[in-house]
Structure 1
């Protein structure tokens, strides 16, 4: 069996047997990996601190048929502040679930690894809602679903109506993945209208690192448009409907969050 080292973030953790845990890791070297931490639930386990949920950790593993096995580990960052704030914890859960659902096993993608770390670090002081929006967009872009925000996605058409009148609405097609000119928008069933501020925010978020993007000041309308657009984009192109998103929405609306097993 091969032994390897990995720089990892713990995406998911579940109890297995009397003292073990099965983990879903996202590693810089090998992408998404499933591994077992044997005996980690015992009080004296040396691995206990290295495999906490969402922790950034350095591990030594050896490969197995279905699960790799963690033999050594040392936590680099534990993000303990997430445990003290339910909205920040729920946002971290949402980001981790997106990475888990949208990536294939054993496919290295270091940029996704560093994006996830940036989101977790930013959650200590940043706005969780804006971090979630920027993370969604950047993750989609890294995985090949970057929206087209320059020119009509259907062709080289002007985004404004001819005739020199007042600018009309800006249309975006979820299924086609980009902006539409007024003529093409008439026959598009899934088009949504976006404000110029929202278009500018999308462009800015794609151009700068997450740490800078989350300093942007957006109005409530743009935040709502971004949330609706990116939710639709994820559902259509990524085919994901994260359970943790429903929990977040309920939490922000002051509702009783849905039960999660």
Structure 2
């Protein structure tokens, strides 16, 4: 059957030719789909406002040899609250890049789709950095990559003391003694590793009651970005943009030295 219908979220967009766009759609029933939206950039196209990054919609597609073709698109949510805020937009772009790295073409990944949808909705109303930290931990747990945090991944002893570390290559926490076994391990507090475990189980409806210090959010971000980059085997470019954006904002707040 050449035509098929699916619910999906656009996670990547690039212009093609004079009036078309090639998009990557994370779907509920077909995994990651690459498709072309012909003529969507024309001023009078009905798809013009829909074929955009983060659009959640019902799609009708025609299956092609290399690329499918979007024949119909009925929008469900555009996430305007994200588009109107540069910080939220940056974190949403990071989510989309991570999703693109893990989603598999032709494989049903409903849980991944719904995690993406929930987190995009949360990004419109909650602290975007906290939402992103929760997303990182949840996607690792969902895909079977949840790091080992109950004891030292190297020697098996309990994780204790004020300072421990996290090894992306070993896949878990290191005690103070073993932290030197991986020169690239990220030094962090025990509280950060405990929070990672808590975030993997936390009810997303109660996200706003979580209280993480700026240091804890920063440490979790550094740990998970390195860990995820190793799993998808590439650097996440949008993470660099988030860091540069934070640097500019800090200069604006505190002045240049």
Q: TM bucket by the smaller chain?
A: 0.7 to 0.9
Deviation at 1:128, TM superposition (A): 1.3
Q: Which residue of 2 aligns with 1:169?
A: 163
**After superposition, where does 1:1-261 map in structure 2 within 5 Å?**
2-154=2-154, 156-160=156-160, 167=161, 169-213=163-207, 215-254=209-248
Rate the CA distance shift 1:150–1:113 in 2: closer, same or farther, 3 A: same
State whether residues 162 and 190 of structure 2, in contact with CA within 8 Å, keep that contact through their aligned partners in structure 1: no
SS at 1:253's partner residue? helix
- Give the TM-score of the pair, scaled to structure 2: 0.88
Q: How far, CA to CA, are the matches of 1:71 and 1:168 in structure 2?
A: 57
Q: How far, CA to CA, are the matches of 2:49 and 2:231 in structure 1?
A: 37
SS at 2:70's partner residue? strand
**Deviation by residue 1:182-217 (Cα, 9 ceiling, x = unmatched):** 554453433333323212211111012444345411
Deviation at 1:173, TM superposition (A): 2.1
- Structure 1 spans left out of the alignment, 5+ residues: 161-166, 257-261
Q: How far, CA to CA, are the matches of 2:63 and 2:203 in structure 1?
A: 34
Deviation at 1:225, TM superposition (A): 1.1
Rate the CA distance shift 1:189–1:63 in 2: closer, same or farther, 3 A: same
Q: Which moved more, 1:213-222 or 1:26-35?
A: 213-222
State whether residues 165 and 189 of structure 2, in contact with CA within 8 Å, keep that contact through their aligned partners in structure 1: no
Q: How far, CA to CA, are the matches of 2:35 and 2:230 in structure 1?
A: 30
Q: How far, CA to CA, are the matches of 2:171 and 2:209 in structure 1?
A: 26
RMSD of Structure 2 on Structure 1 (CA) = 2.2
Deviation at 1:151, TM superposition (A): 2.3
Q: How far, CA to CA, are the matches of 2:53 and 2:108 in structure 1?
A: 21
State whether residues 10 and 26 of structure 2, in contact with CA within 8 Å, keep that contact through their aligned partners in structure 1: yes
Q: How far, CA to CA, are the matches of 1:182 and 1:250 in structure 2?
A: 31
Q: How far, CA to CA, are the matches of 1:106 and 1:215 in structure 2?
A: 38
- Structure 2 spans left out of the alignment, 5+ residues: 251-257
